[in-house]
Amino acid sequence: MKLTKTAGNSCQTTDRFNTQLLRVMRLTAIILLAGCLQVAAKVNSQTITFSAKNADLQSVFQVIKKQTGFTVAVKKAYLQRTEPVNIEAVNMPLEEFLSTVFKDQPLTYNIEEQTIFLNKKLTSPVITEKLEAGPPPVTGVVKDSTGMPLNGATVYNTRTKKSVQTNVKGEFQIEGELNDILVLSYVGFENQNIKITGNSVFAILKASTSPLDEVQIKAYGTTSRRLNTGSITTIKGDDIALQPVTNPLMALQGRAPNLVISPTSGLPNGAVNLQLRGQNSLSSIKSEPLIIVDGIPFQNNLSIGTFGSFGVIGDRMSALSFLNVKEIEQVDVLADADATSIYGSRGANGVILITTRKGKAGKGRVNVGLSTGVSKVTKRLELLSTEDYIRLRKDAYASNGQAVPDKSSAIKDFSNYDLTVWDQSRYTDWQKVFFGSSAPTFEADASVSGGNSGVQYLVSGIYGTQKFVFPGTNKYERTGINFSINGASANRKLKAGLNASYATNNGVSSMGDLTALAVKLAPNAPAIYDANGLLNWEPDVNTPNNQGTWDNPYAALLRTSTTSNNNLRGAIELSYEIINNLIIKATAGYSEVRTSNTALTPIASYDPAMTSATGTSLNTNTLAKSVTFDPQLTYNLNIGRGTLSALIGASIQSQESQSLTIFGAGYTSDALLQSISQAPIKQIFNNTTEYKYNAAFGRINYNWENKYIINLSARRDGSSRFGPGEQFGNFGSAGAAWIFSEENFVKQLSKALSFGKLRFSYGTSGNDNIGDYRYLELYEGFPDPNTYQGQTLVRSMGAANPDYHWESVKKIEAALELGFFKDRLILSGAYWQTRCFDQIGLLTLPATSGANNVTSNQD
């Protein structure tokens, strides 16, 4: 009975399905018929009045354009053997007019929307032995809407199940017969179906409006969200430009999954810490993702001094603050092994690819922008009241088994003045005091761009000023200029591009970290100024010289840091198509950052009770420069119903860092702080490091009908940061994707589901972000002027260990991506896991060893 019932339901379901299918087929037929009638009506509604004898076809095309708005697309070579036109037409329908014009011409026409495509007529075959091999191949050209050829577009014949790819000129050649359907596809563009009506095809692809087809930048190439096998998040430059930030990294907050951005201060070019998918190493600095700007690696945070400087407590600044956010085309965040392993050790913690804007073909364009605004801290922490704070402090003493100090205590010092001396009914929200003001900002930018199909250019500049929400004399100023030019030879085989920029950042700030102090300072701490408007030190009358009971935070405002930064960046790229689909390319880059910092600590910034206080000065100059060279060879090959893409290449990088620090101490007058020669105590520190990095890599990608995709990559890295025998490491990854929405059985299940993909990746990478020369025993000079028997003293910075080797990072990920209602709604979910092995860290040594620590792999 149960079996019979199930069978009955199955039959009813089948009947309902057949009925629904029949209705859908009828509705589809009606829609197609209506569409055809609409197109036919649009063509038939156009009429032409034209009379001419011996007119050339070009003049006829102009008449068609003027009277109907239809454009004629044809290769100039096809017009060489055409005949003059003799015609008398009065309100003649367009279709009839075209038939008359091309009746005796060696051309055929095909109307698509507002464009009339012309092709050569296929001549009637002569039955000879030479033609037994079949019809001649069909040739064609594929371009975008601006007329630029599309290199690497796929052309697929639905009858023969064969496909080819276009060359650098957008040209292709494929076997085909009359009425065959060619499917043209290219990343970022809508697919187009074209019926073969002649020996040649001319196609213009439209940019896709689906977010799944937007171009994504990946390692040494491009892909799309639809076709990638890895985890890539793309943020468009237009979205970044809307953010009121000076550092493009800050505009990525909340836009890339699992990317944590932590500014170390509120200053415009202060250091910004990054973590993508958590901390993978013992050191958070070693866990930062690799940043690449236009193919050139960038170090995120740079050291600019030993003492407080422009990065607040601040010995670091973000190099990305040099970039003008309005000149960014897009940012791509690569997270999983498939997307990052080809970068080897440098991509162990993820990769952030930044692509700047380039010139585009078209009329010259001039853009000018002016903006002004106000920065203000909009959200503050809720802090304890004085009563709750005092109670918490007393509970802490009691919990520790100690006597709770009060005003009668014999011992009163900086550790308990809030309980023993200060007014316990006083309350101050130090957040409002330290960063409760507004900071005006101003920015002006301009750009000029344009070009043609051969050469495109862009020149832009920016000037901006900004003050800080902190009190004191604080100012930040930046200027920058960016230049890019791209060109190609007439046959499109040789391409070249040059990108260069120069930027300066200058500023003055105080050295106090008021951000942290705002939440650490007791709410009953003294007022900043006394009744006379002078800095209030709240002296304790029971101490010698009436010593102050706190270090007045505003004293730090008198300790100034003046910084000047200069950044030069340039890259050149050359590529040449040796044969069809075999391209050799080379990219060379240079970057240089020069920083000068002067930090002054005057006597006036100390408690007057400290009669022995003296002034100090610190002058630091740093230089960081890097040279990179990346040769590559790519080849695309059509195999069966799919496309194979292969890449081999190398990466060579040389990096040098220099620093010179001159420290002066013992100044007895603040008027002498600017003169290092007047310092009774002088110390000079200099440091130079070099870093060499070489790598060879390869990648193979196979795409079968945009349905099944596999991606394999391998890389061998060499780093100067390891000892002999341990300098090289091997890494790789595998990724696969199944676009199941292209399966026929899925298409029949639901019309709401427009896209579905399963992807999986696994890979390994390394990490050499450990500092230079750690495998050697390093020494440094003592940071004081003492000597031993007249000789300068040095001390060990760490014991030698030539045996530590590469860290290893293994990543695995599985993901499901779905698109509904023609990709208007996109959902995705992923499971990923990262495991780290042989992490490199500092192992503390006994004092008797003569060294504090040694660098080694941690088991």
pLDDT band at residue 284, thresholds of 50, 70 and 90?
low
Kindly report the average pLDDT of the chain as a whole number: 83
For residue range 501-536, list pLDDT tens digits in order.
999 988 888 877 688 888 889 999 999 999 899 999
For residue range 228-271, list pLDDT tens digits in order.
898 999 999 888 888 878 788 888 888 888 888 887 776 777 78
As given in the structure block, the two tokens for residue 822 are 């023609």
In this structure, are residues 231 and 711 in contact, taking their beta carbons and an 8 Å threshold? no
Distance, CA of 538 to CA of 528 (rounded, Å):
9
Distance, CA of 576 to CA of 565 (rounded, Å):
37
Q: Which of 729, 761, 762 is nearest to 840 (CA)?
A: 729
Report, in angstroms and rounded to the nearest whole number, the Rg of the chain calculated over CA atoms: 35
The answer, yes or no, to whether residue 799 has pLDDT greater than 80, is yes
pLDDT band at residue 7, thresholds of 50, 70 and 90?
very low
CATH topology for 222-362 is Ferric Hydroxamate Uptake Protein; Chain A, domain 1 (2.170.130)
What per-residue confidence (pLDDT) applies to 17?
A: 36
Helix-helix angle 94-101:57-68, to 10 degrees: 180
Length of the chain: 859
What per-residue confidence (pLDDT) applies to 266?
A: 65
What per-residue confidence (pLDDT) applies to 304?
A: 58
Looking at the structure, give the CATH architecture of the domain made up of residues 46-121.
3-Layer(bab) Sandwich (3.55)
pLDDT band at residue 122, thresholds of 50, 70 and 90?
low
What per-residue confidence (pLDDT) applies to 784?
A: 60
Contacts of 23 (CB under 8 A, 6+ apart): none
Q: What is the mean pLDDT of residues 538-562?
A: 86
Q: What is the mean pLDDT of residues 536-546?
A: 83
pLDDT band at residue 307, thresholds of 50, 70 and 90?
very low
For residue range 691-705, list pLDDT tens digits in order.
999 999 999 999 998
Looking at the structure, give the CATH architecture of the domain made up of residues 134-209.
Sandwich (2.60)
pLDDT band at residue 118, thresholds of 50, 70 and 90?
confident
Give one DSSP letter per residue of 328-352, joined into a string. EEEEEEE-SHHHHGGGGGGGTT-EE
What per-residue confidence (pLDDT) applies to 295?
A: 85
Least confident range from 108-122, 126-140, 567-581: namely 126-140
Give one DSSP letter per residue of 129-146, joined into a string. GGGGG-SPPEEEEEE-TT
DSSP 149: B
What per-residue confidence (pLDDT) applies to 5?
A: 31
The answer, yes or no, to whether residue 436 has pLDDT greater than 80, is no
Distance, CA of 547 to CA of 525 (rounded, Å):
16
What per-residue confidence (pLDDT) applies to 152?
A: 81
pLDDT band at residue 397, thresholds of 50, 70 and 90?
very high
For residue range 731-774, list pLDDT tens digits in order.
999 999 999 998 888 887 777 888 999 999 999 988 888 888 88
pLDDT band at residue 314, thresholds of 50, 70 and 90?
very low
In this structure, are residues 727 and 720 in contact, taking their beta carbons and an 8 Å threshold? yes
**Helix/strand/coil for 460:** strand
pLDDT band at residue 189, thresholds of 50, 70 and 90?
confident
What per-residue confidence (pLDDT) applies to 310?
A: 32
pLDDT band at residue 286, thresholds of 50, 70 and 90?
low
What per-residue confidence (pLDDT) applies to 59?
A: 84
Q: What is the mean pLDDT of residues 782-792?
A: 66
